[in-house]
Amino acid sequence: MYKILMTYDSMEGLDTLVANKEFKIEVHAKPSAEDFKKLIKDYDGLLIRSEVKVTAEIIEAAEKLKFIGRAGTGVDNVDKAAATQKGIVVANVPGGNTISVAEHTIGLILSMARSLPDAVASMKNKKWEKKKFMGNELFGKTLGLIGLGRIGTEVAKRLISFGMKVVAYDPFANADLAKSNGIELTSLDDVFAKADYLSIHSPLTDDTRGMINNANIAKMKDGVRIVNCARGAIINDKDLSEALKSGKVANAALDVFVKEPPEDWSLIETQNLLATPHLAASTEEAQVKIAQEMSEVIVDFFTKGLIRNA
Ligand code: MLT
């Protein structure tokens, strides 16, 4: 029997795995680093979302671990190099939350364009501030994308139907595919220069960490609006905060943060900043899709030796 440690407590969508007699699933939701280190010794597989950090120390403590499954897209909470060195497979489910994240991104863009959260809050306070909330159409504006993978592409397709022009930077994207979707692939600086709305959809890597900083914000249009549903550390919080205060960046909408939940809330308190608590992938549909695919990936790995999504 294969013992699987789960560090979050939703079994929804994991039916194939739960029903399989060859597996024993045990839930220890959000263990502390100390507990995690002790627990991990006992398990063949580990199933996580974003609630834990699988550090080199945790991996070092594992005695039988063969497989780490990330029920989601980003594997930046796993020390992949340490896992690989120990022969542990790290797999994710990259496509399961694409639509949900794309839709959340668009929700945030519309919220910025039409001041929806402020207008709702104002009505709740029994105010009728029609003039104050004059908005802007998305039609005719330029969307700049950093990252043209699955999510970036779905955001682009939807916003092209709103009449937006889309320019994108992605060193790994296929130019012909981008063109066939009506997207212009271009340089990073060109995206910064042209975007009315800048949306980030790249993973957190050494190249993207801190990419939205003073030097790059200076290359953007005055009054640019920025949305980040990718990873918090792609933005330098201090630099964004200054740009929001000066008005260089008119608005920003963040779903992701360097520390989650944040320890320093000062950026979130900034008036022209919208924030949601890493909600983009939190839809019933996405979580079920991810869990179903992850169940198959785990079963295939342990029972057939098949490595998928690694
Ligand atoms: C992901 O990487 O799958 C998303 O950011 C959602 C999450 O981490 O919970």
The DSSP annotation for 18-79 comes to HH-TTEEEEE--S--HHHHHHHGGG-SEEEE-SSS-B-HHHHHH-SS--EEEESSS--TTB-
Sign of CA dihedral 212, 218, 220, 225: positive
Rounded CA-CA distance 99/149 in Å is: 12
Residues 21, 83 share a domain: yes
Please indicate whether residue 209 is annotated as part of the active site: no
CATH of the domain at 9: 3.40.50.720
Residues 146, 34 share a domain: no
Rounded CA-CA distance 144/305 in Å is: 42
CB of residue 73 inside a 6 A radius of ligand 1: yes
- For residue 80, give the DSSP letter: H
Domain interval for residue 135? 98-275
Residues 149, 91 share a domain: no
Rounded CA-CA distance 30/126 in Å is: 41
Contact 150/180 with Cβ under 8 angstroms?
no
User: Of 8, 30, 47, 49, which is best to mutate to test ligand 1, by the most ligand atoms within 8 angstroms of its C-beta?
Assistant: 49
Residues 146, 48 share a domain: no
Residues 227, 80 share a domain: no
pLDDT, residue 2, reads: 97
pLDDT, residue 7, reads: 98
Q: Closest Cα to atom 8, ligand 1: which residue?
A: 50
- In this predicted complex, what is the ipTM? 0.94
Which H or E element spans position 277? Answer: none
End-to-end CA gap in the chain? 23
Long-range contacts of 190-194 (CB under 8 A, 24+ apart): 191/144, 191/145, 191/146, 191/167, 192/144, 192/216, 192/219, 192/220, 193/219, 193/220, 193/221, 194/142, 194/144, 194/167, 194/221
* Domain-embedded: residue 158: yes
* Domain-embedded: residue 67: yes
CB of residue 50 inside a 6 A radius of ligand 1: yes
Task: Tell how far the Cα of 303 is from the centroid of ligand 1, in angstroms.
Answer: 27
Opening angle at CA 147, ends 212 and 72, nearest 5: 105
Token duo for residue 114? 């039409």
CB of residue 74 inside a 6 A radius of ligand 1: yes
**Residue among 136, 190, 185 nearest 163 (CA):** 136
Residues 251, 214 share a domain: yes
**Residue among 74, 15, 19, 16 nearest 278 (CA):** 74
Q: Which stretches does DSSP call E strand in 141-276?
A: 142-146, 165-169, 183-185, 197-200, 224-228, 249-254, 273-275
Residues 181, 92 share a domain: no
Task: Tell how far the Cα of 309 is from the centroid of ligand 1, in angstroms.
Answer: 15
* Domain-embedded: residue 310: no
CB of residue 149 inside a 6 A radius of ligand 1: no
* Domain-embedded: residue 309: no
Residues 255, 122 share a domain: yes
Which residue's entry shows tokens 């006992």? Answer: 42
Q: What are phi and psi of 120, to 5 degrees?
A: -65, -45
Q: What are phi and psi of 213, to 5 degrees?
A: -130, 180
Rounded CA-CA distance 159/39 in Å is: 46
Token duo for residue 21? 């007699």
Residues 106, 231 share a domain: yes
Radius of gyration of the chain (CA): 21
Entry pTM: 0.94
* Domain-embedded: residue 17: yes
Rounded CA-CA distance 40/276 in Å is: 32
Please indicate whether residue 150 is annotated as part of the active site: no
Across-strand partners of 235?
212
Residues 184, 102 share a domain: yes
* Domain-embedded: residue 184: yes
Q: Could you say which residues of the chain have pLDDT below 70?
A: none
Residues 254, 114 share a domain: yes
Domain count, the chain: 2
* Domain-embedded: residue 269: yes
Residues 143, 24 share a domain: no
CB of residue 49 inside a 6 A radius of ligand 1: yes
Contact 83/54 with Cβ under 8 angstroms?
yes
